[in-house]
Amino acid sequence: MSGTSATTFDPDSPMSRAMVWTVIARLAGENISGENWAEDARAWAMAAGVSDGTNADGTISREEIVTMLYRYAGSPAVSTSELSLLGQYPDGGGVSDWARSAMAWAVSAGIIEGRDGKLAADEALTRAEAAAILGRVHLMSR
């Protein structure tokens, strides 16, 4: 994951969907860079089934990044006990239906942790959180 400039990382800024597509593509071994990086990342994410490719400049939520990573991992089966882990968080019932399996998988695997004791699934993902989440996925894939 690159910084926002040659000398800054800007950890508290939100991540865009295009930024996440780029990092996941790089995890997959793709060389995404240059002037058309966002379009190249979008095309890869769509072809890989990671994303529908919409709203490239939009900020990404915690449940959206987890869903993209879940798809990247092949949408592994999630057990009832894994789904029940969402209930350990006071806002676990607020996870979107389309993201429940992905979020349960990510919690179970230790990919995502709470924010102030909550999942904060629909809240914007910061660059620092993205770096931590993507780093955990990278370590899992070794």
- pTM for the full predicted model: 0.90
Distance separating alpha carbons of residues 98 and 137, to the nearest angstrom: 21
Contacts of 36 (CB under 8 A, 6+ apart): none
pLDDT in tens, the chain (142 residues): 555 555 656 778 888 999 999 999 999 999 999 999 999 999 999 999 999 999 999 999 999 999 999 999 999 999 999 999 999 999 999 999 999 999 999 999 999 988 999 999 999 999 899 999 999 998 887 6
Beta bridge partners of 16: 59
